[in-house]
Amino acid sequence: MYNKKTTARTIALDLLRAVELNDAYANLLLPKLLADSKLDSRDTGFAQEMAFGTLRWQLFYDRVIEECAQRYSDEIDIEALIVLRLGAHQILGMRVPSHAALSETVNLTKGHLSRGAEGFVNGVLRRVSERSRDQWLEIVLSHIKDPYEKLAVEFSHPIWVVRALEQALRVDGRKEALEDLLLADNIAPLVSLVALPGLAVKRDFEDLELGPASPIGALLDGGDPNQLAAFREGRIRVQDQGSQLAALALVEVEPVKPGEIWLDMCAGPGGKAALMAAEAKLNDVQFIANELQPHRAKLVKQALEVIDRHIKVTVEDGRGIGLSSPEKFDRILLDAPCTGLGALRRRPEARWRKQPNDVAELANLQQELLASAWAALKPGGTLAYVTCSPHQGETTAIIDWAQKKLGEKFELVDTNAVLAEINPNLHLNRNRKTAQLWPDLNQTDAMFIALVKKAK
């Protein structure tokens, strides 16, 4: 903390520094900072918009700062650059008067930047304030010839992510929607809630906007979900509606028979596991959750306690479950580790954390987990392969690999048909069997869902 007085701006700066310098996760750290700060709800929202908006638009702001500083961003002291980004967002991305954004942001530098750096920040931000956002956009784009780089700067995404998203959209027949998707990644979503079957009651959602994607989902427009009694009591949870649909698709793919055994193979932190556990309890089904990391397994256990404190939570490498529990499970959810490129609107710094070579490493892990899940699936059972990413290397390429490697019993189910039964109003590409959800189209994360049946 750099100023003795805690304000929305000091909270935002602390968050940005922790993300940049310590690889902190913004969505996990911000609630802790806000809880300690005792700020009112107005300042809380102001702090979040400052921090998250700065993270989302970082690439664009860096290009503007380069124009004003007449040097590349990687030549600027990182502490000063963080403050400059925060100031640029207030000036160009928020309804903050330029004079207030300037003076208050420069004040943040006192005590942790040199006097020379204070003057540098002041001078650069004054130049930033001399033009509007649209004027700066025209200036920075005028230097760029590559169309993908233009989109990368205009919508503040790494260029490799822009290319990957375009490829995914092309496969889905939506190539023309690239700019809409990039823009959707930069719009903070409403808080999405799920009503756990068998626990929640109709009145829990009576004052909320229902859906639009999940029949058991609702949206909270501002405010803290802790103010809802049903949330405090665990009957409703925060969960993206794409995640809800992934779990519901596995449950609804065919009628449940009492005595089935279900597995959530990579269950941490427990959101989908809670929904599956609630459904399992209603259907007289045995449910097991597995998680590799012990600390995440504890989170899963906590998430399941309200539903049934006796649910088994195992701590095991999912790649070994096919050997330790061959053909044991009737339904398996494999929510595989992935780049998370489908959740950029909720995790604004994630776009700057991943690199193209991460996809290949994760694809190897995804293949190993899928092969293990397949071995653990009973003949006649169903497996849901899910990623919160639309990247082809983590989605259709993995399913193509599985169809070639896992044998003739590998039967791809029409996942879009299953989802259409769950929500007939859902926008889906019925020309394919695997499902790809989109934030700009479905108001969900860009969730990929593939249902696979093991023939008897």
Share of residues in the chain with pLDDT > 90 (%)? 88
Nearest to 19 by CA among 101, 85, 103, 108: 85
Asked whether residue 227 falls in the same domain as residue 245, the answer is no
With respect to residue 162, please indicate whether it lies within any of the assigned structural domains: no
The pLDDT tens digits of the residues spanning 67-101 come to 999 999 999 999 999 999 999 999 999 989 999 99
The pLDDT tens digits of the residues spanning 191-241 come to 999 999 999 998 999 889 898 999 999 999 877 898 899 999 999 999 999
pTM score of the predicted model? 0.94
Q: Which domain holds residue 350?
A: 241-454
Asked whether residue 417 falls in the same domain as residue 276, the answer is yes
Give SS3 for 329.
strand
Q: What is the rounded distance in angstroms from the CA atom of residue 69 to the CA atom of residue 273?
A: 50
Asked whether residue 222 falls in the same domain as residue 134, the answer is no
pLDDT for 2 equals: 41
Do 44 and 35 form a contact (C-beta atoms < 8 A)?
Answer: no
Among the three residues 120, 139, 158, which one is the final residue of a domain in this structure?
139
pLDDT for 279 equals: 97
With respect to residue 276, please indicate whether it lies within any of the assigned structural domains: yes
The pLDDT tens digits of the residues spanning 255-268 come to 999 999 999 999 99
pLDDT for 77 equals: 93
> For 426-442, what is the mean pLDDT?
97
pLDDT for 428 equals: 97
> For 404-419, what is the mean pLDDT?
96
285 has a pLDDT exceeding 50: yes
The pLDDT tens digits of the residues spanning 363-407 come to 999 999 999 999 999 999 999 999 999 999 999 999 999 999 998
Asked whether residue 225 falls in the same domain as residue 268, the answer is no
How far CA 401 is from CA of 96, 111, 306, 309, in Å, comes to 51, 56, 39, 38
With respect to residue 87, please indicate whether it lies within any of the assigned structural domains: yes
Asked whether residue 290 falls in the same domain as residue 321, the answer is yes
64 band by pLDDT with thresholds 50, 70 and 90: very high
pLDDT for 221 equals: 84
Among the three residues 207, 238, 269, which one is the final residue of a domain in this structure?
238
Q: Which two tokens stand for residue 159?
A: 């260029």
- Region of poorest pLDDT, from 32-36, 123-127, 162-166: 32-36
pLDDT for 338 equals: 97
123 has a pLDDT exceeding 50: yes
> For 415-426, what is the mean pLDDT?
98
> Which residues does residue 288 pair with via DSSP β-bridges, in sequence order?
263, 312
Share of residues in the chain with pLDDT > 70 (%)? 99
Based on the structure, what is the number of domains in the chain?
A: 3
24 band by pLDDT with thresholds 50, 70 and 90: very high
Annotated active-site residue 388? The verdict is yes
Q: What is the rounded distance in angstroms from the CA atom of residue 105 to the CA atom of residue 84?
A: 8
With respect to residue 104, please indicate whether it lies within any of the assigned structural domains: yes
3 has a pLDDT exceeding 50: no
Q: Identify the CATH number of the domain in which residue 131 sits.
A: 1.10.940.10
Q: What is the rounded distance in angstroms from the CA atom of residue 191 to the CA atom of residue 182?
A: 20
CB atoms inside a 10 Å sphere around CB 383: 27
168 has a pLDDT exceeding 90: yes
pLDDT for 1 equals: 39
> For 325-336, what is the mean pLDDT?
98
With respect to residue 219, please indicate whether it lies within any of the assigned structural domains: yes
Asked whether residue 18 falls in the same domain as residue 42, the answer is yes
Top pLDDT among 332 and 31 is at 332
Q: What is the rounded distance in angstroms from the CA atom of residue 236 to the CA atom of residue 161?
A: 34
From 68, 266, 338, 388, the catalytic residue: 388
Q: What is the rounded distance in angstroms from the CA atom of residue 296 to the CA atom of residue 291?
A: 7
> For 27-45, what is the mean pLDDT?
88
Do 434 and 395 form a contact (C-beta atoms < 8 A)?
Answer: yes
